[in-house]
Amino acid sequence: MALKHAIRAVTGLAFAVFGTGATLAYFEESIPMSLNPLYAKTMADHRAQELIFDRLWYNDAITNELRSRVVSKYQIAEAGRAVEITLKTGIRWHNGQALTSKDICFTIEAMLDPGTPSPVAAHYREFIVGCDVKGPQAALIRFSRVLPKPRERLSFLILPASEFDSTAVSPDLQFSARPVGTGPFNGKRGLRMVTMDAFSNVHHTPNIVQMQLQEGGDPLVQTKTLINNNVQGIVVVPPPQRPDLSASDDVSMKSYDLRSWWYISVNTKRGALSDRRVREALDLVLNRNELRQYSIGVKPNDKNSPCEFISGPFIPASPYYNVEVDVHPTANLAKAGALLKQAGLEKLGGRWHSEGKPITLRVGMLANLDHEAPDLLSQVANQLGAAGFDRLTSKISSDEWDNSVMAGSSDFDLVIGKWSFGLVEEVNELFHSKGRQNMFRFTSDKVDALLAEYDDAVTDTEQRDAYHKLHQRLSHELPYLFLWKLDTKSAWRTEVRGAIISPYYYFTEIDSWSIAG
Amino acid sequence: MNRWFTITWIGLAVGAFSCDNPPQNKGDGARVHVAIDAALLTKSWPVRMAANAVRARFEGHAGWGAVFDHELDEALVAFADSGDQRGLARVHQGLADLYRQAALLSANATVEAYGVDAAATDPQEMGYVIAVSHAIRGETDQAKKAFEQSLDGPVFGVRAKAWADALKRHSTLPDLETLMGISGDLGPVSPGTEPPVLDTPDAEIAERSEQGRLMAIVDPSRFLARAAWHEAAAVASAPATDAGVLKQISARYATSRPAEKTHLELSLDDGWLFAASDLNAADVSFIAEAKGAGLVAVGRWSDRSILAAALAPSINESKLDPQLVLDAGFALQKQIQALMADVGGGEMGFHRPFAQRARIAVLMAGMIVADANDQYRDAGILRLNALERMDQLGVDPVFAISVAAWDAGNRSPMRPEEIIHQFKSSYPALVATRAPLEALHLRRSRHAGPSNPVH
């Protein structure tokens, strides 16, 4: 009955907004946290921003050819330390103003401004040193060193100079909810939905009048709503829902090339968890086969499983994955118990105690992951409980995740999460003692040294070897308990034509999308 | 138990689906653009095999079950035990195609990683591997030049000479004997077996860097040799009357674009068609011809070939419209399902997966025609749609590796890495394609735009 109400509620919402034949409503993992490209933190942010803004250069989703919708010509300058670009004429911002080279240089200056606390910008500061306006449509982008393939690096989204008072762009501006871009859609974020209206331009001719991004809730409700044609797509379909959708001729399952892996991050600063042996014991307490089966629906012997165990911070198909580091599909409670005793813990009345007090682990999980891996949080908690740990569990909202967990100020002991990557699978920010995404401020001189080895590598062999050693080291130090990689699949109704999905960015080819009938 | 036999033996009528199944929306999502002449369509293997008597030969046979499930490794073992020569020949031909595409994958990744993205630290010997890669890609002049420059190499000099001599004799790829002379003996051709897999690189050579790390180098000749070995095993297995059939069938995954020429429709035993991407005998000839002739072949064959007939309405102003091909595939699936119900006396559980094969076959045929018609991107759209459609039915490893090869040629390493990972346990020889793919990934990654881990 509750399910029926939920379906009706979502259906009503979908009907309310799905009126014209050219409106496309879809379920996202979550409502984007920010529509400002400098502050993209979730994949939902990236995907939505791809509809609203243009990147300077992008890769064709089919042929991988490097292209630009905004640059008409370019040339390498200053012996490889700069690139001069000429913009196409006639491109308008959503506020009606013309795109000029001032906007390109503004975007770069905003990224270079120390007053812009953007993790996205931080990487660009490592190789861009400035931008000079050379004319209304011409700009010179200067680098700190010779770049062999500069266009491949210049994939940032372009911001409008006219919408900002300063190059110091903060995350809390109105722009994050009501952005202005040159992309095919003009979007605004509400509490429960992002609506994006088509904006025709000389470089974009969207066939869809309006896109409506809705937060996906219960996966079963999402599936029923899609099959009943009350939304047209689901960006992330959890594995248990895939057979139902595959069975329908009205829906196409689509691959989405995204490298995602799941983990439990361990607060190595707190109590007994600072002892490596305790972390190893926790790793051995986990029965990953059962976690995967009960939360994702994949059984141990399933062939070509979309979900595969990992022993380090890469997916098994990655060049960086070290195949010599074993995964632990099942629990080994005896060994875990021995390690805990070695670490000085005592088991009294079936509960583990440290310094005479029972250990209570505070376990959290990013709330929207519960849709993709239902009940994972409680399954993990159950296994910890069965092994003799008291635990407190809570789901973490996106805001709390961002403001507390990632800021390093949360009091969780264990946090369940997922990281996603594209072509670049760098994990330095996650594990370096000064990494911007090192959530529990884990520190290890050996890990830092390996990350430096990766950064300093001259050849790709050296770089790969450094990450293989890192993988090995992390499986020893265990700042994370690595769980699995999980393939991402989308589902779109067959009325949605030309639905080409770009690796990582997703909606890059939205101009080819249309709705039949 | 394999998937097909599960479906077949249960033989569920569609009406018997439990109420837990999702409701089927009766409205077709895609507009039906084409209906094939029913008389022609009744010649398709899915429709004919809706009849129990026609299907009986394949049911309950482990080899054919594995063929249906695209498990070539398992099919090889099963056919070796059963003595079904045609089945064995088909599997060997499939493995020949698989390794020829693996050679192309390795070649494309090599040229992109060590040629286009060459690093000053790469060992000098890499020139030989690039030369082999050019040869595999059909860039014979570049290959000859590069082999000449590799003759003095201390590691691959002998191999370079063998290749250079072979290309002087014929401009085509060397034969099995020559290839085994280059990359190592695979043993006598013995149908029903798989030659031993070399699990080490062909050489490990120090990079020209301060650290001088050893770099694993794989000579793509090894894949060509394996492909030629299986091709010889296919010829040895097939009944003598089927020699021409093998030649036509092998055209689908040929790595070079053939000259435009006409083909004859051959008489085909069902062993060549069951669960194949060719729906009737004329489709085999059409595909062989379309590889070179593209749209012209569609016109020539649309009265006999089901695939050509399905594609014909998708041609607009001398171009194949990929969206119309997608629609045509869906329409064909529906039409086949209806005909199967007529033949079989009602809808059965296996009808849909059979008909979905036909849908995918249309996309693959469209891809071949678009490629031959210089519609590279459109062919890519159809290629990726075909791969996606396979996901729910079981992925054809030969097609998947061909997609991986195409991706590598586009400098895109991620999907190929996933595909190789998926198939490496069934076909361990494929693991050797990882070395150049990884190099391509790492080199592209070093030049790519910055990116943070995202939750």
Whether B31 has its CB under 8 Å from any CB of chain A: the answer is: yes
Whether A2-232+495-515 and A259-488 share one fold: the answer is no
The ipTM value here is 0.93
Helix (H, G, I), strand (E, B) or coil at A237: coil
Task: Answer yes or no: do B452 and A120 touch at CB < 8 A.
Answer: yes
Nearest CB partner across the interface for A494, out of B30, B421, B445: B30
A contacts of B334 (beta carbons < 8 Å): 249
- Output the CA–CA distances (angstroms, integers) from residue A45 to A36, A37, A491, A505, B47, in the order listed: 8, 8, 19, 10, 48
What residues of chain B, 367 to 406, have a C-beta less than 8 Å from chain A? 376-377, 380-381, 384, 387-388, 391-392, 395
B229-258 average pLDDT score: 93
d(CA B408, CA B402): 10
Residue of B nearest to A254 (CA): B388
CATH topology (fold) of A2-232+495-515: D-Maltodextrin-Binding Protein; domain 2 (3.40.190)
Paired residues of A394 in beta bridges: A364
What residues of chain B, 324 to 363, have a C-beta less than 8 Å from chain A? 330, 333-334
d(CA A6, CA A331): 37
Whether A328 has its CB under 8 Å from any CB of chain B: the answer is: no
Q: Residue B304 class from Cβ within 10 Å (0-12 exposed, 13-18 middle, 19+ buried)?
A: middle
Residue of A nearest to B14 (CA): A247
Which residues of chain A have a pLDDT value below 70?
Answer: 1-21
Judging by DSSP bridges, how do beta strands A414-421 and A210-215 pair with one another? unpaired
Asked whether residue B231 carries a pLDDT value surpassing 60, the answer given is yes
Does 3.10.105.10 match the CATH number of domain A259-488? yes
Whether B207 has its CB under 8 Å from any CB of chain A: the answer is: yes
Tokens for A200, please give them: 């025709």
Task: Answer yes or no: do B25 and A46 touch at CB < 8 A.
Answer: no
Task: Answer yes or no: do B448 and A423 touch at CB < 8 A.
Answer: yes
The count of CB pairs under 8 A between chains A and B is 185
pLDDT in tens, B302-348: 999 999 999 999 999 999 999 999 999 999 999 999 999 999 999 99
Residue A9: the pLDDT is 38
Banded pLDDT at B28 (limits 50, 70, 90): very low
What residues of chain A, 365 to 384, have a C-beta less than 8 Å from chain B? 366
What string of DSSP letters covers B196-233? PPP-S-SEEEE-SSSS--EEEE--THHHHHHHHHHHHH
Residue B4: the pLDDT is 43
Whether A348 has its CB under 8 Å from any CB of chain B: the answer is: no
A contacts of B412 (beta carbons < 8 Å): 64, 503
d(CA A236, CA A44): 10
d(CA B86, CA B68): 15
Residue of B nearest to A424 (CA): B445
Whether A155 has its CB under 8 Å from any CB of chain B: the answer is: yes
> Quick one: DSSP state of residue B265?
P
Residue B243: the pLDDT is 86
Residue B118: the pLDDT is 95
**Distance, in angstroms, between B327 CA and closest chain A CA?**
10
d(CA A122, CA B452): 10
Whether A460 has its CB under 8 Å from any CB of chain B: the answer is: yes
d(CA A237, CA B180): 47
What residues of chain A, 430 to 449, have a C-beta less than 8 Å from chain B? 430, 436-437
Whether B323 has its CB under 8 Å from any CB of chain A: the answer is: yes
pLDDT in tens, A12-37: 333 334 444 589 999 999 999 999 99
Residue B250: the pLDDT is 95
Whether A89 has its CB under 8 Å from any CB of chain B: the answer is: no
Whether B211 has its CB under 8 Å from any CB of chain A: the answer is: yes
d(CA B44, CA B53): 15
What are the residue boundaries of the structural domains of chain A, listed by start?
2-232+495-515, 259-488
pTM of the full structure: 0.93
Task: Please name the amino acid found at residue A366.
Answer: L
Percent share of chain B, pLDDT over 90: 85
Contact between residue B402 and residue B99 where contact means Cβ atoms under 8 Å apart: no
Whether A318 has its CB under 8 Å from any CB of chain B: the answer is: yes
- Output the CA–CA distances (angstroms, integers) from residue B32 to A253, A486, B29, B43, B323, in the order listed: 20, 36, 9, 21, 12
Residue A191: the pLDDT is 86
Banded pLDDT at B451 (limits 50, 70, 90): confident
Whether A255 has its CB under 8 Å from any CB of chain B: the answer is: yes
Residue B152: count of CB within 10 angstroms of its CB: 10
**Distance, in angstroms, between B243 CA and closest chain A CA?**
35
Task: Please name the amino acid found at residue A8.
Answer: R
Residue of B nearest to A398 (CA): B455
Please, what sign has the CA dihedral across residues B159, B165, B168, B169?
negative
**Distance, in angstroms, between A357 CA and closest chain B CA?**
35
Residue B145: count of CB within 10 angstroms of its CB: 14
Residue B41: the pLDDT is 96
